[in-house]
Amino acid sequence: MSAAVTETRRFEAEVEQVLKLVTHSLYSHKEIFLRELISNASDACDKLRFEAIANPALSEGDSDYRIEIEIDKAARTLTLSDNGIGMTRDEVIENIGTVARSGTRRFLESLSGDARKDTALIGQFGVGFYSAFVVADKVTLVTRRAGADAGDAVRWESTGSGEYTIESTNEAGRGTSVTLHLKPEEDEFLEPWRVRTLVGKYSDHIAFPIRMPKENHAPQDDDAEKPAEAASDFETVNHASALWTRPKSELKDEDYQGFYKHAAHAYDEPLAWTHNRVEGNQSYTSLLFLPTQAPFDMAFSGRDERKGLKLYIRRVFIMDASEQLLPSYLRFVRGVVDSDDLPLNVSREILQENRLVQQIRSGLTKRTLDLLDSLASDQKEKYDTFFKAFGSVLKEGIAEDFGNKERIAKLLRFASTKSEGSAASVSLDDYIARMQDGQETIWYVTADSYAAAANSPQLEALKSRGIEVLLMFERIDEWVSGHLNEYTGKKLRNVAKGDIQLSDEEKQQREDAEKSAAPIVERMKSLLGDKVRDVKVSARLTESAACLVLDEYEMALHMQRLMRAAGQDVPSQAPVLEINPEHSLIKRLSDTEDAAQAGDLALVILDQARLAEGGQLDDPSAFLRRMNALLR
């Protein structure tokens, strides 16, 4: 074989910025680098163990998967190696030479300058490998893909300054080793006792043995001699068993939190978790976590190819199988499922058809909803945190999961005319508990923003009567409301659709108002022509001059705009204009004899109603001209 040629390559355009961010944001959590590298090594062993099921030759007769850590004080290096799947040259360039790939730009745009928040973003964007540069001024990686020849190994090296070198090399064994050339001020990571402590703190739950050379003795106190150089034989320094297989009585919160960070490659703490063992016709163990914050690509990731819930069969990692094991509206869940009954060679196609998988899916859905119920009932502050991050995803379940629609509806939260600010804090049960005597309807309004919803003219009459209205302003809310017609026997109604319920006294007052306003109603119909379907006296308005309303089952104007923005062809129909005859603008129109001025005034009133519900004007310039003319 010819001599290896060293190639120098530049990182992706933004990578140097990312590396600087990682180096400077993790200064208070330096030791996290070890957790990240061990997690990567564990994933590599998992991947090989799975691939070796179909191709046993890949394990080369060595199925004793392990992770080893060695320290060389003289060379000032810490080396972490595994005998997992390894990488080819192309895979090294793809996985190591590129940071966060398609998400890098969004990552950089998300940076706040706050070290704590930016540290969380690092975890969200999957750049954990680069935490090595927090403690090292050079990182050397040597890897050989399982099944490849010894001469096909690859050596990668970088100082984290924007470039890296890559070359072919010879390596007898498969797997990957990462050598950190430690900075002068990082002596603590040259002490075996310190590294052992960190393994116990962050990685004790790793299912593969983490081994270090045996020590001759341990330090006695601060002045005592530190551990001697490692002997040639190794010992396991972690628990080395799958955490979910251990009894819950043996596990502490710290154990679960550490496992979550490993399994989800996360920096945030989990909000809550549920650990269960099911036995009977089929047996499986599940450990499910609710994250504290949404991953950066939650809104962009495909609903059909989701990661986060790992499927194991008899402790062997098979695949990320979120789409088979949980419905799409619970795609925020992280964790593991370990089945005793599924075949080891199971494929995604088999999973989709397998009756046992459907039973597991049903059980996991129930477990997750139970966990959310518990959080909502007993830890309101945590549930508010969850809903802020994942509420819009959970809402999808109203349309997707008919069998659990009532349970999901109970978990939803909204802003309302009786809540403070835009925070979604009002449940449907809260609303019902505050209903007025005789009220049988849950009222809501949809809009493009909180301000548009809270200040909608359609709310005025209900607010004046003290009736609470839910304010829905997320994109998904109109879709959700179309599938949630009632809750515990109470009808949900949009205040902008159909007629408002009136008492006998109010009905009489409206009839009287309609009679006295009949001339102005007819005049506005004539002035506006086919721009409106009808003009009516409003039972909704107390302060505004006019508002637009729709028929009971007509698509909301807010939804029509969203559909058009998505490129959909939406049949349009002229709206109904409701007017408040007592408003000064309506009275002014009634008293105006000049036909041209009256026409301008009628169009201004219509355009104001469009703007109030968040719509766009067909001709903003004409609106401004009319407004200016009337003001003059």
Q: Tens digit of pLDDT for each residue in 459-472?
A: 998 988 899 999 99
Instruction: Compute the average pLDDT of residues 500-518.
Output: 81
Question: Rounded mean pLDDT of the chain?
Answer: 84
pLDDT at 148: 94
Residue 388: closest CA among 474, 470, 268: 474
pLDDT at 223: 43
Half-sphere exposure of 166 (CA within 13 A, CB side): 19
Coil, helix or strand at residue 336: strand
Query: What residues have CB less than 8 Å from 119, skipping those under 6 apart?
Result: 25, 26, 29, 267
What DSSP string describes 567-602? T------PPEEEE-TTSHHHHHHHH---HHHHHHHH
Provide the terminal-to-terminal Cα distance of the chain, rounded to the nearest Å.
90
Tell me the C-alpha distance between 143 and 87, whole Å.
Answer: 6
The residue that leads in pLDDT, 112 or 544, is 544
pLDDT at 253: 94
Query: Backbone dihedral region of 576: left (phi > 0), alpha (psi from -120 to 50 degrees) or beta?
Result: beta
What DSSP string describes 440-502? -EEEEEE-SSHHHHHT-GGGHHHHHTT--EEEE-STTHHHHHHH--EETTEEEEETTBSPPP-
pLDDT at 192: 95
Residue 271's identity, in one-letter code, is: L
Q: Exposed, middle or buried, 380 (CB in 10 Å: 0-12/13-18/19+)?
A: exposed
Express each pLDDT in 271-311 by its tens digit.
999 999 999 888 999 999 999 988 765 554 445 556 788 88
Instruction: Compute the average pLDDT of residues 43-65.
Output: 90
User: Would the CA dihedral through 507, 509, 510, 512 be positive or negative?
Assistant: positive
Q: Tell me the chain's radius of gyration from C-alpha atoms.
A: 32
- Binned at pLDDT 50, 70 and 90, residue 109 comes out as low
pLDDT higher than threshold 70 for residue 101: no
Residue 307 and residue 297 in contact, taking contact as beta carbons nearer than 8 Å: no
What DSSP string describes 118-168? HHHHHHHTT-GGGGGGGTEEEEEEEEE-TTS-GGGEEEEEE-SSSEEEEEE
Query: What residues have CB less than 8 Å from 361, skipping those under 6 apart?
Result: 324, 325, 326, 327
Tell me the C-alpha distance between 316 and 342, whole Å.
Answer: 11
What's the Cα-to-Cα distance from 523 to each of 526, 586, 597, rounded to whole Å? 5, 11, 13
Residue 540 sits at the vertex; the CA angle it makes with 510 and 530, to the nearest 5 degrees, is 90
Residue 86 and residue 148 in contact, taking contact as beta carbons nearer than 8 Å: yes
Percent of the chain with pLDDT over 90: 50
pLDDT at 25: 59
Express each pLDDT in 379-392 by its tens digit.
999 999 999 999 99
The residue that leads in pLDDT, 411 or 1, is 411
Structure tokens at 297: 């690509």
User: Would the CA dihedral through 41, 44, 46, 52 be positive or negative?
Assistant: negative
Report the range of poorest mean pLDDT among 9-18, 160-169, 222-231, 614-623: 222-231
pLDDT at 502: 66
Express each pLDDT in 159-214 by its tens digit.
988 789 999 999 989 999 999 999 999 999 999 999 999 998 888 888 899 999 98
Indicate the helix (H) or strand (E) that contains 313.
Answer: strand 309-313
Express each pLDDT in 40-50 by its tens digit.
899 899 999 98
Query: What residues have CB less than 8 Å from 102, skipping those under 6 apart?
Result: none
pLDDT at 302: 47
Express each pLDDT in 561-611 by its tens digit.
666 666 777 667 788 999 999 999 999 999 998 888 999 999 999 999 988
